[in-house]
Amino acid sequence: MSRFYITTPIYYINAEPHLGHAYTTMVADAVARAHRLMGEDVFFLTGTDEHGQKVERAAQKAGLAPRAFADRVARSFEALLPEINASNDDFIRTTEPRHYASVQALWRSVRDNGYIYKGKYEGWYCTVDEVFVPETQLVDGRCPTCGGVVEKISEESYFFKLSALQQPLLEHYRSHPEFVTPAARRNEVMAFLEGGLEDLSVSRTSFTWGIPVPDDPAHVMYVWFDALTNYMTAAGYGSDDPLDQARFEKFWPADVHLIGKEIVRQHAIYWPAFLLAAGLPLPRQIVSHGWWLMEGAKMSKSKGNVVRPHDYIARFGLDAFRYFVFREMVFGQDASFTDEAILGRYKADLANDLGNLASRVVTLLHRTCGGRVPQPSPALLARSEERAVLDAASALVGQVKAAIGTFQLSVALRDIWELVGLTNRYIVAREPWKLAKDPDRRAELETSLFVPADALRVIAELLRPFMPTTAGRMLEMLGCPAHPASWSTLAAGTLQPGTALGQTAPLFPRIELTVEALRDMAHEPTASSTASPAKPAPQAAPAAAPAPAPAATPAQEAPVAEQISYDEFMKVDLRVAKILEAERVPKSKKLMKLRVDTGLDTRTIVAGIAEAYEPEALVNRTVAIVFNLKPAKLMGIESNGMVLAGSAEGGRPFLVGFETDLPPGSRVR
Ligand code: ME8
């Protein structure tokens, strides 16, 4: 059995995961699932990148030791995986002992082969990207990649002889034109390589949060040397255990490192250079996708202009969210995430095209064929309309496989929707509801329902990697076995006549959401954006709670927050405040802008209570607020704190009050 090893980047844990991270993991997931369906032995890896200056600083800011901070935030990346239905086989954290062993083994190999020497690094460093930036590449004194501030560093450092590997790398690129894809990225890398390479600083001495350099623990390794090696660690590299060694033999080199376009250089130059220096095989392909943009800028943790996957999954359902991101981003290009687009695709592509097709066919089969797959007539199946649908379904299998092979998920889905459209048109032309009224046309009726049912089966089998739950439900409705059919034998015409069908259930229920409601949601703080970055916590502040979920939302139990210590609780500075002014935020149904007297200052707080209170009813009210919450922008207004309110599940918020009027500034405990 051939094997397939695919990885995502390991994500920095300096903030909560957002759509960008979820996207890469979902694409890798869809590709991994497709390869399993093609009969391959798949290993799909994702994880977290936990060392380095950026994380050390984020931990300091959170008042935690780096390891404790890493343990907390890594959990939110791990928790995202079931939420997006990722079928990863392993989750690696760079703080695990297996990884220390592996990175140190790679370092020793590279060093013993003569590629590491000691020197002094003087120059610029961008902590956001964790990269050294040559002075000539600064743009207005800032990082050319993220535009962030760079710092001057001057310290003893080990260097990696990258310059010595320029020719071997160029040769590899020339003999493996598919090594980096898409071609635009490959061309950039080639141009960079041809321009010559400087040796790379691969250790730091000015901080300690990293993997110690073997035999010189005053140095910690450069975080990219550490991070890139994760791909080998998880396959078993550096382990003494014979089982791990056998796994490494089997799965290394990786088939695909799937990444965003901003980290191509590290993957396409540094990583193969380290491996060449150690005498290890290179990965087969570096595949990079474009960026999700918000209002024209890259969505990023550092900028905070992010889409929180959970917000959309809760409203549209996971598979609709997966469909949208796969369909919307053309491979290799950037894409804008807009509420209009996700709503539009939900209604048109999912509810209308696919959802209606499935429920129409299965309902008609229940009504007219006793809830069983009918027996088609061979003569009628030979007609050109029937052949057109069934031939298109058979051809689609190859098309989808080819599109997945080149990571064109949007093309695969577009092709599947061509068949959805063709099948819908077939039904409209055959009008089985009319045939059902005429007993003499029974054979025509049965054939005209067999054809779309069979096409739907192929569609569902092909949708498995993209929308696993929906595909399963479609197949259940069609009475097909729950275990996936192998794509190697998948073809049209094999639905078994006589099979009992399952119940019809709407795949994509009607939702009443509007673009305005989605926009409000995006601006509302959640506990995870305002409290600790530990995990997707329950709504801490009902005053800013999101809209009650629509009917499409799967019922979910309200999560309970983990226990905290007295000291942790006391970090929250709760105080009495008096509302001085209140006005609705224009274009928002939920948000109210409040001017409050906190006893220590007067400040603006934006609260999600506009549906529950009139502005005039709020003036002069005494409320409880979180005084020391970091400022956040809501609909362009800076909010400094949070007003406390309680609400029953999905109900209106009621402000927290006091039995007597306490003076503003009084502590609440
Ligand atoms: O770079 N659009 O981690 P990171 C699409 N730890 N994808 C995006 C995105 C966006 N706006 N933002 C992030 C690191 N991503 C290193 C990687 S690998 C050995 C070390 C996705 O947390 C995309 O896959 O900054 C991108 O490459 C990755 O998240 C960067 O995650």
Mean pLDDT, the chain, rounded, equals: 90
Residues 343 and 279 reside in one and the same domain: no
Instruction: Single out the residue of 490, 499, 508, 497 nearest to residue 399, CA to CA.
Output: 490
Q: What is the DSSP letter of 247?
A: H
Residue-wise DSSP of 371-390: TB-----HHHHTSHHHHHHH
Report the nearest atom of ligand 1 relative to the CA of 261.
27
* pLDDT, tens digit, 9 for 90 and up, residues 272-283: 999 999 999 999
Does any domain span residue 307? Answer: no
Beta strand residue intervals within 237-333, DSSP E: 256-260, 285-289, 292-294, 297-298
The enclosing H or E element of 324 equals helix 318-328
Buried b or exposed e, range 392-403, using 16+ CB within 10 angstroms: bbeebbebbbeb
Domain's final residue, options 289, 324, 348: 289
pLDDT at 549 over 80: no
Pocket test for ligand 1, best of 8, 11, 31 (most atoms within 8 A of CB): 11
pTM: 0.80
Amino acid identity of residue 135, one-letter, is E
- Same domain, yes or no: 219 and 282: yes
pLDDT of residue 75: 92
Q: What is the pLDDT of residues 553-579, one digit of tens each?
A: 333 333 356 677 777 788 899 999 999
Range of the domain at 261: 3-289
More reliable by pLDDT, 38 or 544: 38
Q: Quick check: 151 and 127 in contact, CB under 8 A?
A: yes
Q: Whose CA is nearest to atom 7 of ligand 1?
A: 20
561 and 635 inside one domain: yes
- Three-state SS sequence of 40-53: CEEEEEEEEECCCH
Count, residues in the chain = 669
- In angstroms and rounded to an integer, the radius of gyration of the C-alpha atoms of the chain is 28
Report how far ligand 1's centroid is from the alpha carbon of 21 (Å): 6
Q: What is the pLDDT of residue 562?
A: 66
Q: Write the residue with the smallest CA distance to atom 23 of ligand 1.
A: 260
Bridge partners (DSSP) listed for residue 5: 43
Preceding peptide of 182 cis, ω within 30°? yes
Residues 374 and 471 in one domain: yes
Q: In the 3-class helix/strand/coil scheme, how is 487-532 assigned residue by residue?
A: CCCCCCCCCCCCCECCCCCCCCCCCCCCHHHHHHHHHCCCHHHHCC
Residue 123 token pair: 């120059």
Phi/psi region, residue 295 (left: phi>0; alpha: psi -120 to 50; beta: rest), is left
Q: Do the domain assignments include residue 325?
A: no
Lowest-confidence pick of 22-26, 381-385, 578-582: 578-582
Q: How far is the CA of 9 from the centre of ligand 1 (A)?
A: 6
Q: What is the pLDDT of residue 524?
A: 63
221 with 351, same domain: the answer is no
Q: What is the tally of structural domains in the chain?
A: 3
User: Nearest C-alpha to atom 4 of ligand 1 is from which residue?
Assistant: 11
How open is the CA angle 575-576-582, to the nearest 5 degrees? 115
Q: Enter the tokens of residue 577.
A: 């405040």
Q: Which helix (H) or strand (E) holds 160?
A: strand 151-160
- Which of 7, 14, 24 most suits a substitution to test ligand 1, by most atoms within 8 Å of the C-beta? 24
Higher per-residue confidence, 514 vs 407: 407
- Position 643 in a domain: yes
pLDDT at position 432 is 97
Question: Please, what is the Cα angle at 475 between 471 and 478, to 5 degrees?
Answer: 145
* Ligand 1 site-directed mutation target among 130, 263, 286, 328, most atoms within 8 Å of CB: 263
Considering the domain architecture, whether residues 483 and 567 belong to the same structural domain is answered as no
| Residue 526: per-residue pLDDT | 52
Tell me the CA–centroid distance for residue 260 and ligand 1, in Å: 6
What pLDDT sits at residue 523?
A: 62
Residue 140 has pLDDT above 50, yes or no: yes
Answer yes or no: is 576 within a domain.
yes
Residue 145 near residue 262 (C-beta atoms within 8 A) = yes
The torsion angles phi and psi of 625, rounded to 5 degrees, stand at: -130, 155
The strand ranges marked E within 474-631 are: 574-584, 592-597, 602-607, 622-626
The alpha carbon of 510 and the centre of ligand 1 are apart by a number of angstroms equal to: 34
| 438 class by beta-carbon count within 10 Å (0-12 exposed, 13-18 middle, 19+ buried) | exposed
Q: Where does a domain end: 229, 263, 289?
A: 289
- Cα 24 to ligand 1 centre (Å): 8
Residue finishing a domain among 272, 289, 306: 289
H helix or E strand, kind and range, residue 92: strand 90-93
| Stretch among 228-242, 298-312, 341-355 having the lowest mean pLDDT | 298-312
Asked if residue 649 has pLDDT above 70, the reply is: no
Largest CA distance in the chain: 91
Q: Are residues 221 and 278 in the same domain?
A: yes
Per the DSSP assignment, residues forming a β-bridge with 45 are 7, 90
- Amino acid at site 589: K
Mean pLDDT across 162-171: 97
Q: Which of 45, 33, 35 is nearest to 4 (CA)?
A: 35
Is 313 within a domain? Answer: no
Give the binding-site residues of ligand 1, using a 6 Å CB cut-off. 9-12, 20-21, 23-24, 49, 227-228, 230, 259-260, 262-263, 291-292, 298-300
CA distance 535 to 438: 61
Phi/psi class of residue 644: alpha, beta or left (left: φ > 0; alpha: ψ in -120 to 50)? beta
For ligand 1, atom 13, name the residue with the nearest CA.
Answer: 20
Q: Give me the numbers of helices (H) and strands (E) for the chain, helices first please.
A: 25, 25
Q: Whose CA is nearest to atom 15 of ligand 1?
A: 20
The closest residue, in CA terms, to atom 31 on ligand 1 is: 11
The predicted model gives 463-483 an average pLDDT of 94
Share of the chain above pLDDT 70, in %: 93
CA 257 – CA 240 distance, rounded (Å):
25
Ramachandran angles phi, psi of 290, nearest 5°: -80, -170
pLDDT at 180: 98
Angle at 78 between CA 296 and CA 148, to 5 degrees: 35
Nearest CA to ligand 1 atom 19: 228
Burial 64-96 (b: 16+ CB within 10 A, else e): bebeebbbbbbbbbbebbebbbbebeebbbbbb
**Residue 174 CA, ligand 1 centroid: distance in Å:** 27
- Residue 502 and residue 564 share a domain: no
Q: What is the pLDDT of residue 647?
A: 80
Ligand 1 mean position, distance from CA 542 (Å): 32
Contact 235, 254 (CB under 8 A): yes
**Is 28 domain-assigned?**
yes
Region label for 571, one of left (φ > 0), alpha (ψ between -120 and 50) or beta (otherwise): alpha
Beta-bridged to residue 203, according to DSSP, are 221
Q: Are residues 566 and 514 in the same domain?
A: no
Please give the share of the chain, as a percent, with pLDDT higher than 90: 75
Say if residues 335 and 289 touch (Cβ distance below 8 Å). no
State residue 584 phi and psi, 5-degree precision: -70, 145
Helix, strand, coil shares, percent, the chain, to 5: 45, 20, 40
State in Å: Cα 259 to ligand 1 middle.
7
Q: Give a yes or no: residue 436 inside a domain.
A: yes
- Domain with residue 560: its CATH number is 2.40.50.140
CB 54 within 8 A of CB 125: no
Confidence (pLDDT) at 632: 87
Answer yes or no: do 433 and 502 share one domain: yes
Structural domain contains residue 47: yes
Ligand 1 atom closest to Cα of residue 306: 11
Q: Are residues 265 and 347 in the same domain?
A: no
Between 666 and 51, the more confident residue is 51
Q: Beginning with the edge strand found earlier in the chain, give each strand of the sheet holding 203-204 in spatial order.
A: 203-204, 216-221, 212-213
Contact call for residues 87 and 218 (beta carbons, < 8 A): no
Atom of ligand 1 nearest to the CA of 11: 22
Distance (angstroms) between ligand 1 centre and the Cα of 291 equals: 9
Residues 576 and 502 placed together within one structural domain of the fold: no
**CATH at 120:** 3.40.50.620
Task: Dump pLDDT digits (tens) for 313-355.
Answer: 999 999 999 999 999 999 999 999 999 999 999 999 999 999 9
- Give me the CATH number covering residue 465: 1.10.730.10
Mean pLDDT score, 468-490: 92
User: What spacing in Å lies between the alpha carbon of 403 and ligand 1's midpoint?
Assistant: 23
**Dist. CA 23 → ligand 1 center (Å):** 10
Q: What pLDDT is recorded for position 534? A: 30
Distance 22 CA to ligand 1 centre (A): 10
